[in-house]
Amino acid sequence: MLRVLLLGVLAPAGLGLPAPPEPQPLGGQCVDLDCFAVFRGPATFLAASRVCERLQGHLMTVRSSVAEDVISLLLSGDGLRLWIGLQRPPGCDDPEHSGPLRGFQWVTGDNRTSFSRWARPRDDGERLCGPLCVAVSAAAGELAPGEPAWEERPCDAEADGFLCEFHFAASCRPLAVEPGATAAPGRAAVAPLGVELECAAPLGETEGRWSREAPGAWACGVERGGCQHECKASAGASNCLCPADAALQADGRSCGPPAEHPCHQLCEHFCHLHGLGNYTCICEAGYQLAADQHRCEDVDDCAQVPSPCPQSCVNTEGGFQCHCFPDFDLVDGECVEPVDPCFGNSCEYQCQPVGRSEHQCICAEGFAPVPGAPHKCRMFCNQTSCPADCDPHNPAVCWCPEGYILDEGSVCTDINECDNGICPGQCHNLPGTYECICGPDSALSGQTGTDCDPIQVNEGQGTLEDNDGSGEPPVSPTPGGTAGPSPAPAGPLHSGVLVGISIASLSLVVALLALLCHLRKKQGASRGELEYKCGVPAKELMLQQVKTERTPQKL
């Protein structure tokens, strides 16, 4: 605890106490934890300094304009000449190296300052020789009349008074004294009650409380006797009282937790107080009192009937653990059969359990999961031909994967897109798709994909690698077909249909030539020449017989 004496002005009681030997302070001002007091009465510098030191302070140091403002408030325009804590030791100074304090130093042994106000300017080359001391007066200023200014004086001369400075490590609120009580100056001594107090604060704190070394309450009329809770005066004595759930501490004024009963050390777990000095030991859950009624021993919970567990119980210190038989799960204290991981699944074809809690969707033969949607299936073939997916109720309705065409025998045959010259350069046919290898003349030279034209790629086909279609245009659905549960996109035309279209076009050309021959006959043209020209196409037509019947296909 830090102890700081109160330096206030309390009216003297005149109740037989010895009169203080020092002059009485006329007033004081405080700035933070520093307080300044003015004392009036003739005194030399040495006598004034001793008075301040007996009061655990020193003559005032004026290091800033704030301290100068405090002096102005204390003087209140009076023309008193008061000593401050500035002196010059014996010897003479060098005017060029004397600084703002002119070679003087504070009674604290240093010359630090950011302020000075001398009554008269110093002449060039003027030397000051000590010992000298400094007094402040509002009437001494030549540069600023009416404002306190400093003047050098012999230290053994008497001034009208002096200013003391006191530093406090803590501060207390003004002392509360009930009406009728008086006090004497010094250590906050309340004369008629014989109370002498100090301002005390815990280490590191600046907010203190009035206290004293002697334990117990003082007069309840002064600061409630120092009691933390309540002060009660009875038969001329004062006592502190605490709430029911607290106990009076060793200083006789503070309240704190009641002293611990010895049973708290005797009982292993808990102590329950009842009656006057009686107690009972209590154990935590899962334990019971031993024979000595103080120790606690574990209870075998698994030996209870009925068992606390539905299937298997394992006792532990202070508790137990429940376990289930194989193929059972412990859920909210009950052993239940594990839920089928495929329960409530969204698989399009079939669900397959994976472990005890996971599942995966599988597809039928010839189908594969859809990327990004593994619960759905789509037709898949990685060979040149695969069986078609036909409706079991209508075998004529079949489906093929994209890039395949339905052929005879309900077989899906890969379309060789390279036969149609779809790639400007080298073409590589793949199951269900194809791959163009762009030549050096292409803007996409060295790249592979389904197109080597950069304009088409930028207009919606994406990158070459993104287009894995067959390259053939879609066809209309086969008449009479019924939609399946997940219809596949239409495949391209059969190669035989393409050949039929080509031959039909050639037949049209032949018909036009025949008509031309007929017209030339009417004009008297040579018969032999006409037979020659008209016979050649006819011979070409006999080279190949075309089957124009279209094979049913799935779209």
Using one digit for the tens of pLDDT, what is the confidence trace for 231-240? Answer: 998 888 899 9
Residues 224 and 158 in one domain: no
Q: What is the pLDDT of residues 374-397, one digit of tens each?
A: 888 887 787 888 888 888 888 888
Residue 65 half-sphere exposure, CB side, CA atoms within 13 Å? 1
Query: What pLDDT does residue 56 have?
Result: 86
Q: Which of 109, 117, 193 is nearest to 148 (CA)?
A: 117
**Token pair for residue 7?**
């330096």
Task: Indicate the pLDDT class of residue 22, thresholds 50, 70 and 90.
Answer: low
Name residue 480's amino acid: G
Residues 87 and 154 in one domain: yes
Contacts 24+ apart (CB under 8 A), 425-433: 425/452, 431/381, 431/382, 431/383, 431/384, 431/403, 432/381, 432/382, 432/401, 432/402, 432/403, 432/404, 432/468, 432/470, 433/403, 433/468, 433/469, 433/470, 433/471
Task: Indicate the pLDDT class of residue 477, thresholds 50, 70 and 90.
Answer: very low
Query: What pLDDT does residue 468 have?
Result: 41
Query: What pLDDT does residue 6 have?
Result: 36
Q: What is the C-alpha separation between 154 and 170, in angstroms, rounded?
A: 37
Domain that holds residue 331: 301-336
Helices (H) and strands (E) in the chain, counts: 6, 37
Contacts 24+ apart (CB under 8 A), 499-503: 499/546, 500/546, 500/547, 500/548, 503/544, 503/546
Q: Which of 57, 2, 54 is nearest to 30 (CA)?
A: 57
Residues 74 and 99 in one domain: yes
64 domain-assigned: yes
Query: In b/e form, how buried is each residue of 112-126, taking b as 16+ CB within 10 angstroms?
Result: ebeebbbbeeeeeee
Residue 85 has pLDDT above 90, yes or no: yes
Q: What is the pLDDT of residues 495-507, one digit of tens each?
A: 565 667 878 888 8
Q: What is the pLDDT of residues 313-339, one digit of tens each?
A: 999 998 999 999 988 888 888 898 887
pTM: 0.38
Residue 356 has pLDDT above 90, yes or no: no
Our count of domains for the chain comes to: 7
**Token pair for residue 304?**
């209870």
Residue predicted with more confidence, 467 or 152: 152
Residue 461 has pLDDT above 50, yes or no: no
Query: What pLDDT does residue 368 have?
Result: 84
Task: Give the residue-averaged pLDDT of 512-517.
Answer: 78
Residues 71 and 116 in one domain: yes
Q: What is the C-alpha separation between 358 and 372, in angstroms, rounded?
A: 18
473 domain-assigned: no
Residue predicted with more confidence, 170 or 307: 307
Residues 36 and 160 in one domain: yes
Task: Give the residue-averaged pLDDT of 514-519.
Answer: 73
CATH code of residue 85? 3.10.100.10
Name residue 70's amino acid: V
Q: What is the C-alpha separation between 442 and 452, in angstroms, rounded?
A: 6
